[in-house]
Amino acid sequence: MLLSIAFFGCKSKQNKTSYDAKSGATKIVNTLHYPQEKHLKNIKQLTFGGDNAEAYWSFDNKKLVFQASNVWDLECDQIFTMDINDDLSNGEKPQLVSTGLGRTTCSYFLPGNETIIYSSTHLADENCPPAPKKEDYGNKYIWPVYKGFDIFVADTKGNQLKQLTFEDGYDAEPTVSPKGDKIVFTSTRTGDLELFTMNIDGSDVKQVTNELGYDGGAFFSPDGTKLIFRSSRPKTEEEIKEYKDLLAEGLVQPTNMELYVCNIDGSDLRKITNLGSANWAPFFHPSGKKVIFSSNHKTKHSFNLFMINVDGSGLEQITFDTVFDAFPMFSPDGKKIVFSSNRNNNGTHDTNLFIADWVD
């Protein structure tokens, strides 16, 4: 696949097959909106260069918080905020929220729209943590789950306010309930990659999942009563051994992921996809009755957005890009959607943010 985009935790390293724009072997198609994309209207590009992903809305529908790398002289991913009407087309640098040190991922607005949570390794090491080399693992596709990640609170001007997690190991992928009372996150504190919830001040931590495998990228339903998440759960003895061996080295191999729904206490757990390949980055439709997500089950070398009912029926393709669409998120009022895409990048490796009006 094309470019190295962090789609780990919320997002980890996703290596996409490189198209050489100079070779003439691949036709460069600059497209904002494909004709089949009937649910999207008035698509607008928000960023213009580098790797930009995981954009999440403020509670008032006016701002986005996102992570970026390979731009603005960044050593690795950092967290930024912008107004949805900001013009970054001339290379303007938005407001930095994270420290600029270590690696960051998975940011989200807290109630009030003036503070955010995000995950960072900056306390463990000010330098970017080294990326694993695929050739050391038989060229298999792997993600690092850095044990230096913890969850922090900052304001939208970049003032660092509070640390929420203090456990050894990986604490990352936090998202906030629409009710504004809870955070869900992924942690290795019990020895496996499980989901946990906590209050927005970091108190009352409760374990949600407890089955072997990587449970992550969780989001709350609009009414705050359910969670949607992606999971890579090994079943055979060989798969279990490989999973445990990799996890011992701080790695996972998420080439096969399916989507699950449960109540916020972990009860009524249901698998809602059985598509094969990688199904991830799920988010609830404003109705709470459907889920939008990214998948390469249809075409192995391209990710597009799909929607499915929470009972697993009614699969529908939403985007029709030739390379990569992911990280969809509806605005709290349900009127707009933001997502990341390789569309309209002139054959480069850039992943940018796009916003559109949503049409049911």
SS3 state of residue 240: helix
Sequence-ordered list of residues with C-beta below 8 angstroms from that of 39, at least 6 positions apart, any chain: 318, 358, 359, 360
- The DSSP string of 304-333 is EEEEEETTS---EE----SSBEEEEEE-TT
Beta strands 40-45 and 316-317, pairing class: unpaired
Query: If you average pLDDT over every residue of the chain, what do you get?
Result: 92
What are the pLDDT tens digits along the chain (360 aa)?
333 344 444 644 443 333 333 333 345 668 999 999 999 999 999 999 999 999 999 999 999 999 999 999 999 999 999 999 999 999 999 999 999 999 999 999 999 999 999 999 999 999 999 999 989 898 888 999 999 999 999 999 999 999 999 999 999 999 999 999 999 999 999 999 999 999 999 999 999 999 999 999 999 999 999 999 999 999 999 999 999 999 999 999 988 999 999 999 999 999 999 999 999 999 999 999 999 999 999 998 899 999 999 999 999 999 999 999 999 999 999 999 999 999 999 999 999 999 999 999
CATH of the domain at 322: 2.120.10.30
Contact between 352 and 45 (Cβ < 8 Å): yes
Q: How far apart are CA 154 and CA 171, in angstroms?
A: 17
Structure tokens at 112: 């009030």
pLDDT tens digit string along 319-340?
Answer: 999 999 999 999 999 999 999 9
pLDDT tens digit string along 82-95?
Answer: 999 999 999 999 99
Contact between 208 and 227 (Cβ < 8 Å): yes
Q: Is 298 left (phi over 0), alpha (psi -120 to 50) or beta?
A: alpha
Contact between 83 and 63 (Cβ < 8 Å): yes
Residue 353: CB atoms within 10 Å: 24
Structural domain span for residue 253: 3-358
Tally the domains of the chain: 1
